[in-house]
Amino acid sequence: MKGPDVSWYVTLSAFLFAVGALGVLLRRNPLIVLLSLEIMLNSANLALIGFARHLGDTAGQVFALAVMAVAASEVVVGLGLIVALNRNRIALDVDRLNTLRG
Amino acid sequence: MITAAWICLLSPLAASLAITLGGTRLSRRQAGYAATFSVLVSFVAALVAFFQLLNDAPEERSHVSTLWTWLSAGEFEVGLSILVDPLSVFMMLVVSGVGFLIVAYSIGYMDGSDEERRYFAYMALFVFSMLLLVQSGDLVILLSGWGLVGLCSYLLIGYNQERPQAIAAAKKAFIMNAFGDATMALALFVLIQRLGTLEYGGVFSQIDSVGGDWAMSLIALGLLGGAVAKSAQIPLHTWLPDAMEGPTPVSALIHAATMVTAGVYMLVRLNPVFEQAPGVQDLAAGLGATTLLVAGLIALVQTDIKRVIAYSTMSQIGYMFLGAGLASYGNSMFHLMTHAFFKALLFLGAGIVIHALVSEQDIHRMGGLGRLLPKTYAAMLIGALALAGIPPLAGFFSKDSLLAAALEAGPYGQLLWAVGLAGTFLTGLYTFRMIFIVFGGEPSPFVREHLHRPGHTMPALWMAWTVGALAVLSVVGGWIQFAGLWHPLSDFIEPVAVSGVEPSGLQDAVTSVLAVGLGLTGIGIAWWIYSARRAVVPRFALAQQVLEHKFYFDELYDAVFYRPGVWVAHAAMRFVEGPLIAGSIRGLTEGTRLVATRVTEAQTGLLRTYALALGSGAAILTLVFLAVRA
Amino acid sequence: MNEWLTTILILLPIGAALIVWLLPWSSQAAGSLALLAALAEVGIWINTLTRFDFDAAGIQFDQQQTWFDDLGVSYHVGLSSFSLWLIGMAVVVMAAAVAYAFWTGRDRPRAYFGLMLFLTGAVVGVFSAQDLLLFYVFFEAMLIPLYVLVGVWGGAGRLTATIKFVIYTMAGSLLMLAAIVVYGLSEGTFDLVEGADSDNAWVFLGFVAAFAVKAPLFPLHGWLPDAYRESSPEVAAVLSGVVSKAAGYGFLAIAIAKFDEPARDLQPLLLGLAAVGLVYGSIVAFRAPDVRGVIAYSSLAQMSLITIGLFALNDLGSTGAVLQMVNHGLLSGALFLIAGVIERRAATGEFARLGGMARGRPALATLLMTTGVIALAVPGSTAFAGEFLILAGAFDEGWGWAVVGGVAIVLAAMYMLRLISAVLHEQVGTSVPDEALDLRPGELAVIVPLVASLLALSVWPAAITDHLSF
Amino acid sequence: MGDVLVWAVWVVAAFGCLGSGIAVISFSNPFFSALALIGNLASLAVLYLLLAAEFVTAAQVLVYAGAVMVMFLFVIAYVGGRVDAPFERGPSWQAIAAVVAAGAILVDIVIAIGLTTGGRLEDEAAVDEPFGGPAEVGRVFLTDHLLAFEITSIVLLVAAVGGVILGSERTRKAKAP
Amino acid sequence: MTKPTVDWFALAPSLALLGGTSLALLGAVLVPVVARKVFAAIAAALGFVAAGVWAGLLYSETPSASLEVADAITRDRFGALAQIVIAGAGLLAVGISYGHRTRAEHVGEYYALLAAAGAGMVFLVQANDLMTLFLGLEWFSICLYILCAIEIDLVSSLEAGLKYLVVGSFGSAVLLFGSALVYGATGELEFGAIARELESQGLLNDGLVLAGLAMILAGLGFKASAAPFHMWTPDVYEGAPTPVTAFMSAATKAVALVLALRVLVTAFPGEEELWTIAVAVIACVSLAVGNVAALVQRNLKRMLAYSSVSHAGFMLIAVAANNELGGRALLYYLIPYGAASLGAFGVVAARERELGERVTLDNVAGMGWERPLLGVAMWIFMLAFAGLPLTGGFVGKFYVFAAAYDAGRWWLVLAGVIATAISLYYYLAVIRALYMRMPDIQLAPAGGSPPREAVLQGTVLTCMAITIGSFFAVQPLIDVAEKATAQLPF
């Protein structure tokens, strides 16, 4: 069973990474920004797992699992922040979070 | 002898310090006595030194005494040393002698001025400085004395601190002299570079090894610059008439008898140096001749009694320069001495007049004083005759032998001789113009109104006896030397300065006759116009104007130096200091601030911008890494 | 004991500063303590002077203690003959400044006097450091108290003045730090005694940059007019009298001593800058509208002249420069203190509103006149002696330098006389109240010793020039 | 044949995850974005399967697409989806720069892949059966990467604490300093 | 299936801090509200003290470096020394925090998170593979995200938290992707092994490695707040509670830079040419941006944030030197810099508590005279930042310059010098505000000075003592740093 080699996967992950980055850079809703960050982390995971298969080394998969946990933690904190912002009746728009500047 | 010389030098300094530090603990009159006494001590010490020196054989009459090393650097050393030799002793005698009389006169003249202490401290300091100048054994010490007399001159010209003209005159005098000091210093630098020493003995013995006419001329020119400035010779003469703002005894002491003749002293003292640069020597003589003529002409139109005398001083020093430049050292020094006598006398006499007329100095407001102040008139007359070179008064002997020497000194000398003769005519004319206007005729209304006759008070007596003493000296002072017949003074100075010209008896006689004749002619014309009033004063508009503007020297210097200087200073302030120096730092800070504002504007507060910066940073870094390596 | 002398000279004032800062002294007590410390410092210096062996070459009373050895940096202090003289000048002027401040009274006295003492220690440190990094440390340590002294106790424009002063100075000294790093690492040691000659012109220029700002040399004097005008008089006295000498010392002990070849190569540049500064400073001083301005720009001219002497690179020049550094320190100190005295009476230093102060105030007149004429280097004064040697040395390197110097002498006479007349003479100025008194005993006690030192030096300048070795 | 099938699955999954990814960042309603992300994660899971990472796939589906996304949806429901469109204000410099930057990163990585030394990415290591299975992953997690495992737990703990703090009741009204 | 031996000793500092975390968390639940603050603070402080002591022991008991726990961490003196610095910073941060008016119900968690962040940092400096690197980074980062936002009633705090979180996660993702690429190219996660593989397989010009290295650099640059990855710094520093800012400025920077040096020299020695230049350029950009932007700041915290960017630049110069001297310089620099940074924020915190508003250059006018201790301390800290003598900051800069010159990069010395000159302007502006300007109105609350905060003042005093002490005690510190750097494979 010979499928696409690892460069395909990595290229795909690069595309995903770029899409995620674009999301972070373009979107103003913090929730979508968080979702985009998830895409970025997942793209890295894809690369890791792809390389793990390519190298025949489980370490990559382990790394990916750990990244998942980290991503989940970030989501928790990020969502907590969004909830807190919402509680303070602050518009969920990162462009309006600009009291600190200059 | 050395001890006496040191006492002579330091005694006035001690008095000056004592008066300064004593402050109000000394009464005003005590200050005067202290100063007078200290100068008297100097004079006595000078006499002692003189007689001790006479005990030595003529060729051994040179003694150097060094107190301590004054300055040193590497191999170069300057000792705080004095030289006692015939020339310095002669000058010590003149300075302390005339100085003593004038300081004593001041006790009377300055009585009632509320800052007498300052005056006497300055006077004593001046005598010290002048003695330092003449006694120094090293060119640096000479220059120090040179500078210090200039300083004292400044202080005393500006004695009337509230008078702006006095202060301006004082500054002018100091700055023109500073210029002379600077050129002297440059000459000294050449000497240091070439010879490594500035001690007289060392300099004179090695002077022929300076190497190069150029260097030698530079040295001589530099020194001459100092002499010209100090002695108010053309072209650095304009300060002297203004210096008459000082109290009259100051004019007598500093601006007639002693300080202004320091240039002559230097020409004589440093004759071995100048003789290596004959061109410069000729220049000195030429400058002297020009000055004597120009000053004599200007004196014709002056209306201030002191300024008339001041121009005559310039003119007389011109004679001395002429003599010294033509290597007739003995006669130069002789004229220096007699001039000190009669010029001091004239000034002090004028001082009495001014004093009597409550500080009025304009001769046209005077008149008829001869009857009111007969003794003063007599004294002034003696001075004036001596100045005009009428025998048997002092001026006759010294001036004529000096001119006679010029006749001997080749074609150039003869030219100068002619100029000098013309000068004697002018001398007679302007001197007696003054005498006749001031003393002759009927008392003017002004005089009637303002004259206050000095009684037989203490101050008046101090003034009287000193003037008397000077009058006597002006009469007999010339008798110590007569042409080729009798010249102990020239002989005495011979070990220091060998005169290069010896006029013959015939030359002496011709010169004397012509000089006296011209002098008398001048006096006669003066009498004709100003006393007998047979003729009106001739008017030549152009000449009048030129003379009244003193040949436009002041205007010239104003246009050439002062105005451009001020302009440059303004320009420096306006175009360099402001925009460039202060502006550059302001521009720099403002520029940085501007950049800073831009940088902080990028800090939009939007996290998307921040992520963008991070992302593009990473992208660029990656791109660069890939590009560099692959 | 002897090897501790230098350290004691450095640490005594700093220790005293700490005591003044940390203990709750009253205003009077703080001032007296500071004055006492400053005078004790003078005493110790005299003691050092008597113990110093002028016939021996090299550094004396030196003490060395490793600071960090991997780069070869140590606490190494010691005295050369010229640093001894400069220290003497510094401690005397500092003592006068402290005394003046004590007499005049300053707000927040503990902070003030502590800073003055600290500054004293730092200055002595600069003149005695034998390790480059240590030198730099002291060089910068001078700046810290000065910044506050000008900035807190200065006049209305003090804030701008301090900023300019510090930024300028630091820009220069940081270049020096770079130069020190390069020199030290390439020599393997930062010790001035052990370090060999370097021929790196860039490193030399790094040092020169720092000193040229500190001195200052044209055109790096942008900080000078403000700093000298806005600080209190005694601080201005210290700034121009003492602190600027750190530059001269640096030129002599480091830039010239360790960079023979670059110094020779770049001699025309340095001489040129100094010559321009000399004339320029004199000219601007002549037009300056106030007392401090004249002194400030004359300081620029004088430091330029000293630089000319140093970069004549011969015995005449450097001897004259050291002598003139001492002279100018005392002169500048005295002049600024007198300026302060005048400003206390007339509440202004502007010539347009001054004048006629001589009448009835003989002490003021005498002191200003004496200091002024010495400052214009009237022949026979110690300043004349210094300038004479400097220009004689410069003449050896080319007659043009000496001619410029000669011009400057005349200009110096012009601006100094202008200062003297504008303050003392002519009509009484609008700002001069009739009831303004002559110098008070306290003021006399501060200024007279400085003037007396100058007069003593005028009698015997060889006291310094005969006791120097390079 | 197997190759073709694998390729086909790959292509579908790849386009699925790319498309859903783009959908995530394009939907103006966060609710739909979150749903699209679930699709994205699912497509990734398929790819993981192709890469013989069975355990990771399981974790992806259960933990990620399941638990995490549910939490997301809850929060979105709680705060209310605020609608915004990526380009609603037209292309700003920020948007242009963002596209350029993201594109640059993409290009960089593609170039990097192209520049790998000697085509090494083509030969795949042979792997045996347990590779990617729970046993193998567990073994590696508890031996070679023991610390990573422990740290993961700490991170999760910390995040939990953070969630508690940030989500806690408001005590007073917010005010700007 | 071999179980790895766990070197508990090497992990002891982290464990000590985790113990502190647990204790504080327990306290948050079990201890009554009145005593909670004291308890939690003491727990965290004890954690930091214990970590510091263990790190010290670790330092003395580790004559040579070794890899522990399945090569996941390095046990060496370099790490141990960095741990001591971090533990010290944490302890001082606890001191600054103590007087902070945190909401009572979260004070236990606050200290727990502080200790947990400390634990993460202490762990991270020992990290020896890409996985522990990433996880450790996230460990303390997540703690800091929460700490920044912990004032959940304040918009600025939340804003700071969110910005930090989003930009931080973005940075982490970049770092992670870079790690993945390096892993893919070399097949290794462990630093030493990566270096070996790069060497043996001739991968120095491999695209994946280069891209991975660049991305890892960017990620680390973000944590060190080096320009252009720094933009979060001012906002977060300003918005976060001041004690947290203090801790971040000292500790995060220390970790990021120490780690950067470790990763670069152990994993990428072969790419030296590339990354030294890159780091040098980043250093220069940081110096420029940090200093220039700081010039126009009025808000003190913001100004200090920009200043921390510029200091990242200085320390990156030491990293770019890539030699033992540079390592020494970095380790030494961290000590006075950390102390001054903590102290400066401590003073800001004190003023903030006094006034109840943001501290700007305007409202500290005359503070130096009102509060002599704080004023003098602030003065000293500013001098230390500016690198003026009598503070360790001077020696630090000197070492950095020496290292740069030693590495043949004289232009870095010049850049540093120019940057320092610019920086003076704003550091001195603080002193100017403290001492030379007088307040227009009385800003401090009426009724004299606020309650004395002995803990805070003690902390500031300690910072001051360290800042000055490090100037005089250079030799011992450098000896220690020398032994530490000797264990890095330069």
Tens of each residue's pLDDT in chain C, 470 residues: 678 899 999 999 999 999 999 988 888 899 999 999 999 999 999 999 999 988 888 888 989 999 988 888 999 999 999 999 999 999 999 999 999 999 988 888 999 999 999 999 999 999 999 999 999 999 999 999 999 999 899 888 888 888 888 888 888 889 999 999 999 999 889 998 888 888 899 999 999 999 999 988 888 888 888 899 899 999 999 999 999 999 999 999 999 999 999 999 999 999 999 999 999 999 888 888 899 999 999 999 999 999 999 999 988 999 999 999 999 999 999 999 999 999 988 888 888 888 888 888 888 999 999 999 999 888 889 999 999 999 999 998 888 898 898 888 888 988 999 999 889 888 888 888 888 888 888 899 999 999 999 999 999 999 898 888 87
pLDDT of D173: 45
Paired tokens of B333: 């020094």
Check if A1 contacts D (Cβ < 8 Å).
Answer: yes
- Which residues in chain C have Cβ-Cβ distances shorter than 8 Å to E424? 166-167, 170
CB contact under 8 A, E184 and A47: yes
Is B544:B301 a contact under the CB 8 Å cutoff?
yes
User: Using the beta-carbon criterion (under 8 Å), do D97 and B612 form an inter-chain contact?
Assistant: yes
Q: How far apart are the first and last CA of chain E?
A: 35
Preferred mutation among E29, E73, E142 to probe D, highest tally of D CBs within 10 A:
E142
Residue C267 corresponds to which amino acid?
A: Q
Q: Which of B607, B610, B616, B625 to mutate to test the interface with D (most CBs of D within 10 A)?
A: B616
Residue A61 CA to chain centroid, in angstroms? 17
Do C and A touch, counting CB pairs below 8 Å (3 needed)? no
CA A77 to centroid of chain Cα atoms = 14
User: B71 and C465 in contact by Cβ < 8 A?
Assistant: yes
Residue C6 — φ and ψ, nearest 5°? -60, -45
Contact at 8 Å (CB) between C281 and C301?
yes
Asked if E156 lies within 8 A of D176 by C-beta distance, the reply is: yes
Half-sphere exposure of B218 (CA within 13 A, CB side): 17
Give the contacts of C399 (CB within 8 A, at least 6 positions apart). B186, B189
Chains with at least 3 CB pairs less than 8 angstroms from chain C: B, E
Query: Of B271, B162, B163, which Cα lies nearest the Cα of B224?
Result: B271
Single out the residue of C223, C215, C231 nearest to residue C301, CA to CA. Answer: C215
Q: Determine the residue among C273, C318, C417 to mutate to test chain B binding: the one whose Cβ has the most chain B Cβ atoms within 10 Å.
A: C417
Q: Which residues pair with B82 in a beta bridge?
A: B65, B136
Q: Do B620 and D105 touch (CB under 8 A)?
A: no
The pLDDT score that the predictor gives to residue D175 is 42
Q: Are B140 and C388 in contact (CB under 8 A)?
A: yes
Q: How far is B587 from chain E (nearest CA, A)?
A: 14
Per-residue pLDDT tens over the stretch E127-154: 999 999 999 999 999 999 999 998 888 8
Given a cut of 50, the residues of chain B with pLDDT beneath it are none
| Main-chain phi, psi angles of C65, to 5 degrees | -145, 125
D176 touches chain B (CB under 8 A): no
Angle subtended at Cα E388 by Cα E394 and Cα B580, rounded to the nearest 5 degrees: 130
Residue D171 has a pLDDT of 54
Interchain contact, A56 vs D127, CB within 8 Å:
yes
Q: Phi and psi at residue C74, in whole multiples of 5°?
A: -145, 160
Q: What is the dihedral of CA E183, E189, E194, E198, to 10 degrees?
A: -20
Cβ(B319)–Cβ(B235) under 8 Å? no
Q: How far is E137 from chain B (nearest CA, A)?
A: 17
Amino acid letter, B530: Y
Burial degree of C18 (CB within 10 A; 0-12, 13-18, 19+): middle
Q: Does E295 touch chain B (CB under 8 A)?
A: yes
Neighbouring subunits of B (3+ Cβ pairs under 8 A) = A, C, D, E
CA E170 – CA E158 distance, rounded (Å): 18
Whether E104 and chain D come into contact, CB under 8 Å, resolves to: no
> Rounded to an integer, what distance in angstroms lies between the CA atom of residue C387 and that of residue C302?
9
Both tokens of B191, joined, read 């000497």
C residues 148..167 contacting E (CB < 8 A): 148, 151-152, 158-159, 162-163, 166-167
Chain A interface residues facing chain B, Cβ-Cβ under 8 Å? 21, 24-26, 28, 94-95, 97-102
Instruction: Output the six-digit token pair for B300.
Output: 């014709």
3-state secondary structure (DSSP) of residue E189? coil
| Identity of residue E299 | N
> According to the model, what pLDDT value does residue D83 have?
66
Q: What is the dihedral of CA A39, A43, A49, A51, to 10 degrees?
A: -170
Please tell me the distance from the alpha carbon of residue B628 to that of residue C326, in angstroms, as a whole number. Answer: 59
Q: Is A25 on the interface with D (CB under 8 A)?
A: yes
Closest chain C residue by Cα to residue E408: C182
**What is residue E447's predicted lDDT score, i.e. its pLDDT?**
43
From first to last of its 490 residues, what are the pLDDT tens digits of chain E?
567 788 889 999 999 999 999 999 998 888 888 888 899 999 999 999 999 999 999 999 999 989 888 888 999 999 999 999 999 999 999 999 988 876 667 888 899 999 999 999 999 999 999 999 999 999 999 999 999 998 888 888 999 999 999 999 999 999 999 999 999 999 899 999 999 999 898 888 888 999 999 999 999 999 999 988 999 999 999 999 999 999 999 999 999 999 999 999 999 998 898 999 999 999 999 999 999 999 999 999 999 999 999 999 999 999 999 999 999 999 999 999 999 999 999 999 999 888 888 899 988 888 888 888 999 999 999 999 999 988 999 999 999 999 999 999 999 999 999 999 989 989 999 998 999 887 766 555 544 555 678 899 999 999 999 999 999 999 999 999 999 999 998 8
pLDDT at D5: 87
Tell me: the pLDDT tens digits for C163-205?
A: 888 888 888 889 999 999 999 999 889 998 888 888 899 999 9
pLDDT (tens digit per residue) in C33-66: 999 999 999 999 999 999 998 888 888 898 999 9
Q: HSE-up of B118 (CA within 13 Å, CB side)? A: 20
Work out the end-to-end distance of chain A between its first and last CA atoms, rounded to an integer number of angstroms.
57
- CA E383 to CA C33: how far, in whole Å? 28
Rounded Cα distance between B302 and B305, Å, is 8
Chains that touch E (3 or more CB pairs under 8 A): A, B, C, D
D174–E143: do the CB atoms touch at under 8 Å? no
ipTM rounded to 2 decimals: 0.91
Tell me, yes or no, if the pTM score tops 0.80.
yes
CB neighbours (10 Å) of residue B399?
Answer: 33
